[in-house]
A and B are shown apart, each in its own frame.
Chain A
Amino acid sequence: MTAASPAAGDRFLLDRRDFSAFLTSIRTAGYRIVGPTVRDGAIVYGDIQAESDLPIGWTERQDAGRYRLERRSDQALFGYVVGPHSWKKYLFPSHERLWTATRDGPTFAVISEPSDPTPLAFLGVRACELAALKITDKVFMGGIPDPSYSARRTRVLRVAVQCGQAGGTCFCVSMGTGPGVTSDYDLSLTEILTEGRHEFLVAVGTEAGGSVLRSVPLRPPTDEADRTVTAIVAHTASSMGRSMDPTGLRDLLLSNPDHPRWERVAKRCLSCTNCTMACPTCFCHTTEEVPSLDAEKTERWRRWDSCFNLEFTKLHATPVRASSSSRYRQWLTHKLGSWHDQFGTSGCVGCGRCITWCPVAIDITEEVAALRVPPPAPTPGGGH
């Protein structure tokens, strides 16, 4: 059947063989589709021209400091978890021009960078990533909206996918962000792969989501499909690779600037910034001035920065956070603690990227557990 006008709340079944038609329909609606694709030994986000660009039959194995692509025994389209990329690279590119200024006699004129009007369809957004999008929305659109972020963000179509398996470093259940997709999506897919069946349960979240389904062959949902989807999400939730107790985290972090654990983790941390680059919510950036050779024109760029960089806090030639323990402490205290004060939410969605992509296998869940152990009390009376 062809749905007349799918509305928010509607649900359908989409056959695997019609997935291409689904992609075509999104593209016909004017979107540039970006989603998972295999490149350089990892599943990253890139342009999706055809379904063959998807990581069909691939999965990955993740642990602290480890990531390896593996073949699946089936032909799942979304049978992986999350890779080194996050959607923030499309909304808040790692390197972006903000404006250009030209000399004009004694003065200068500034021209804002025009935004690319092509709307993006994010294909395969996981529950933790939807939560991360909400967080970066607060950062970049909560006050004076950042022009480039908001121009792109307001045109994004979020095609979510409920995770059919958990990764070795996932802990979305602890952070209350997943694995089920319950809100903040335009469309939500669940991939059903059982004996002889390969189909998707499609839930419509918004009008924009419904409108891209109009010319896609769809079937009404069955009770059996519903039961399968519930079981899939429950199974994923019960197989998280990591867990982290979130109770009282804000106070724990903010009241422990002198915990001895900071020195211990600093002995391992390389200040490589991998964790902050991979994290879907880390938003810190710096600005760069790029003048032309004849000095008649100059450009203002913004580039991802990290609180692990020594330059980050430089004030009158001296960094405020000179030790790597103070920088790791800043990262974790901000992410799990002061983020609440600033944005009314944790900065961590439990995606596990910082654990997987740390070259020395530092694990945020392990650090938090260690911080929960109170530091040894100072011995009274100067005894030993």
Chain B
Amino acid sequence: MASDVPSPSPAPSSHPLAPAPYFVRRQTAETGDTNTLVLAPMDGGPVPPALPGQFNMLYVFGVGEAAISLSGDPTDSTQVVHTVRNAGRITAALAQLPPGKAVGVRGPYGRGWPVDAAAGRDVVLMAGGLGLPPLRPVLYHFLSHRAQYGRIEVVYGARTPKDLVYYDQIQEWRQRSDLRFQVTVDAADRSWYGDVGLVTARIPDVRFEPGNTIAFLCGPEIMMKYAARDLEARGIPRSSIWISMERNMKCAVGICGHCQFGPEFVCRDGPVFRYDVVRDWLAAREI
């Protein structure tokens, strides 16, 4: 009667959660503790298409994996770019990999920034600290489709001038006439001639048409909370404000439970959320 039992299916050759081998093309220091890694597939093939705001799970052989936002040009199909702060065992191991070394990559995962919803509107991007890397793909996208958008206003804040990432590129962006890119630091040293203060302090100075603006915020929760509040006060409806959340992640596919934020799985339903959808959770303690 053994034939009544469903026959064993052959073992799957690759696990959906198995990383694909990539190698380090370049690794450059952004700040004292933050590096940008450029990774390309070992097999020379193209990288899977990704949307601005999505993330990958990066894996170091024998060490483990961590969720890191994509921060490169989304139209580049030859490589992925990740800006990683050395803040734990896995990110420390990533920071030590010289060019040529293997890195595992699986992804991209999650929902990205709604770039289509931004068409025809003014755009405000606000980044705090390491919130700029997840927003950079969206800026690349806007700039390469510049005519489709209204004003583009970027406000980027870091703790000190030494904590600014993409320093040279920011200088280039600041030269452009079709983009306004403000930089502010919480605490300056004598070399700093720019603005000092929280990103939210720049909001009164950001120019946009409130009824026709979309805002993307990325940074510490407290910064996003106050920035959203202040943008709302300036007339941007809650439903036109989007934020990117960060949580502990293990699986990235909605089955390990780690990344829950209220009813949302940040890995699958986020990391980008419409502010009005998650506002109550952001306001409550220890969600």
List residues of A whose CB falls within 8 A of some B CB.
25, 28-31, 98-99, 101, 103, 106-110, 112-115, 117, 119, 139-140, 143-144, 146-147, 151, 154-155, 208, 211-212, 214-215, 254, 257-258, 283-289, 291, 295, 298, 300, 305, 307, 312-317, 320-323, 326, 330, 334, 337-338, 341-342
Does B88 touch A at the CB level, under 8 Å? yes
- Is B4 a contact partner of A29 (Cβ separation < 8 A)? yes
Residue of B nearest to A316 (CB): B87
Please give, as numbers and ranges, the residues of chain A lying within 8 Å of B191 by CB-CB distance. none
A-contact 0/1 string along B2-34, CB 8 Å cutoff:
101110110111111111010100000000000
Residue of A nearest to B91 (CB): A316
Known contacts: A254-B262, A289-B64, A320-B247. The answer to whether A212 contacts B4 by CB under 8 A is: yes
Please give, as numbers and ranges, the residues of chain B lying within 8 Å of A106 by CB-CB distance. 23, 42, 100-102
CB distance from A255 to the nearest CB of B (A): 9
- Give Cα A358–Cα B87 distance, bound, in whole angstroms: 36
Does B160 touch A at the CB level, under 8 Å? no
CB distance from B44 to the nearest CB of A (A): 12
- Give Cα A215–Cα B4 distance, bound, in whole angstroms: 13
- Give Cα A28–Cα B246 distance, bound, in whole angstroms: 52
List residues of B whose CB falls within 8 A of some A CB.
1-2, 4-6, 8-9, 11-19, 21, 23, 42, 61-65, 87-88, 100-102, 104, 246-248, 250-251, 253-258, 260, 262-263, 265, 268, 284-287
Select A147's contact among B16, B246, B254, B286, beta carbons within 8 Å: B16
Q: A-B pairs with CB below 8 Å: how many?
A: 160
- Give Cα A226–Cα B253 distance, bound, in whole angstroms: 46
Known contacts: A119-B5, A208-B4, A326-B285. The answer to whether A313 contacts B247 by CB under 8 A is: yes
Select B248's contact among A110, A295, A314, A322, beta carbons within 8 Å: A314
- Give Cα A323–Cα B262 distance, bound, in whole angstroms: 16
Q: Give me 12 other A-B pairs in contact (C-beta within 8 A), A30-B4, A211-B1, A330-B287 excluded.
A: A99-B15, A101-B61, A112-B14, A112-B15, A140-B255, A147-B16, A155-B6, A214-B1, A254-B263, A285-B250, A313-B258, A342-B265
- Is A287 a contact partner of B286 (Cβ separation < 8 A)? no
- Give Cα A164–Cα B35 distance, bound, in whole angstroms: 64
Residue of A nearest to B87 (CB): A316
- Is B262 a contact partner of A338 (Cβ separation < 8 A)? yes
Please give, as numbers and ranges, the residues of chain B lying within 8 Å of A295 by CB-CB distance. 61-62
- Give Cα A29–Cα B253 distance, bound, in whole angstroms: 36
Please give, as numbers and ranges, the residues of chain B lying within 8 Å of A287 by CB-CB distance. 64-65, 250-251, 256
CB distance from A165 to the nearest CB of B (A): 33
- Give Cα A258–Cα B19 distance, bound, in whole angstroms: 41
Main SS class of interface, A: mixed
- Is A315 a contact partner of B18 (Cβ separation < 8 A)? no
- Is A147 a contact partner of B12 (Cβ separation < 8 A)? yes
- Give Cα A284–Cα B253 distance, bound, in whole angstroms: 12
- Is B18 a contact partner of A112 (Cβ separation < 8 A)? yes
Select B16's contact among A144, A312, A314, beta carbons within 8 Å: A144
- Is B1 a contact partner of A30 (Cβ separation < 8 A)? yes
- Give Cα A287–Cα B285 distance, bound, in whole angstroms: 27
- Is A317 a contact partner of B88 (Cβ separation < 8 A)? yes
- Is A289 a contact partner of B102 (Cβ separation < 8 A)? no
- Give Cα A122–Cα B256 distance, bound, in whole angstroms: 25
- Is A286 a contact partner of B258 (Cβ separation < 8 A)? yes
- Is B253 a contact partner of A144 (Cβ separation < 8 A)? yes
The 7 residue pairs across chains A and B that have the minimum distance between CB atoms: A117-B8, A284-B257, A326-B286, A291-B62, A338-B263, A341-B263, A114-B11
Residue of A nearest to B259 (CB): A313
Please give, as numbers and ranges, the residues of chain B lying within 8 Å of A334 by CB-CB distance. 257, 260
Residue of A nearest to B101 (CB): A106
- Give Cα A146–Cα B18 distance, bound, in whole angstroms: 12
Please give, as numbers and ranges, the residues of chain B lying within 8 Å of A314 by CB-CB distance. 248
Residue of B nearest to A154 (CB): B6
Q: List 6 A-B contacts (CB under 8 A).
A: A28-B1, A30-B4, A101-B18, A110-B104, A140-B255, A321-B286
CB distance from A262 to the nearest CB of B (A): 10
- Give Cα A208–Cα B14 distance, bound, in whole angstroms: 30
Please give, as numbers and ranges, the residues of chain A lying within 8 Å of B255 by CB-CB distance. 139-140, 143, 146, 283, 285
Residue of A nearest to B251 (CB): A287
Select B257's contact among A98, A109, A283, beta carbons within 8 Å: A283
- Is A112 a contact partner of B247 (Cβ separation < 8 A)? no
Please give, as numbers and ranges, the residues of chain A lying within 8 Å of B253 by CB-CB distance. 143-144
CB distance from A366 to the nearest CB of B (A): 23
Please give, as numbers and ranges, the residues of chain B lying within 8 Å of A313 by CB-CB distance. 247-248, 258
- Give Cα A25–Cα B1 distance, bound, in whole angstroms: 9
Known contacts: A214-B1, A285-B256. The answer to whether A298 contacts B11 by CB under 8 A is: no
